[in-house]
Chains A and B, each alone.
Chain A
Amino acid sequence: MPTNTLNDRTFEVDAEGFLTRRDDWSEDLAADMAALIGIDLSDEHLAILRFMREDSAQTGVTPTLRRIQTVGGFDIKTLFALYPGKPAKKMAWLSGLPKPVGCV
Chain B
Amino acid sequence: MAFICSKGNLDMAYPALIMGNAALGEGVEVHIFFTFWGLDIVNTKTNDKLKFTLSGNTAMHMPDLGRIKPGLEHVSMPQVLGNLPGMTGYATRMMNKQMEEQEIPTVPEFLDLLQASGAHMYACRLTYDMMKLLEADLHPGVEGVISAGDFIDIAEGAQVVFV
Contacts and interface: CB of A to CB of B under 8 A. Distances in A.
Q: Real complex partners, A and B? A: yes
Interface string B119-152: 0000000000000000000000000000000000
B116 A104 contact: no
Interface string B97-113: 00000111100000001
A87 to B, nearest CB: 7
B153 interface: no
A80 B24 CA distance: 9
A85 B116 CA distance: 14
B142 to A, nearest CB: 18
B94 to A, nearest CB: 19
A66 interface: yes
A88 interface: yes
A103 interface: yes
A67 B26 CA distance: 17
Chain B contact patch, size range: 10 to 19
B117 A104 contact: no
Nearest to B118: A80
B40 to A, nearest CB: 21
Contact of B25 (A67, A69, A75, A88): A88
Given A86-B25, A86-B26, A87-B25, A104 B118 contact: no
B77 to A, nearest CB: 26
Interface string B73-85: 0000000000000
26 contacts: A64-B103, A65-B117, A66-B103, A66-B113, A67-B103, A69-B113, A75-B116, A76-B116, A76-B117, A77-B117, A80-B117, A80-B118, A86-B25, A86-B26, A87-B25, A89-B25, A89-B26, A102-B103, A103-B22, A104-B18, A104-B21, A104-B22, A104-B102, A104-B103, A104-B104, A104-B105
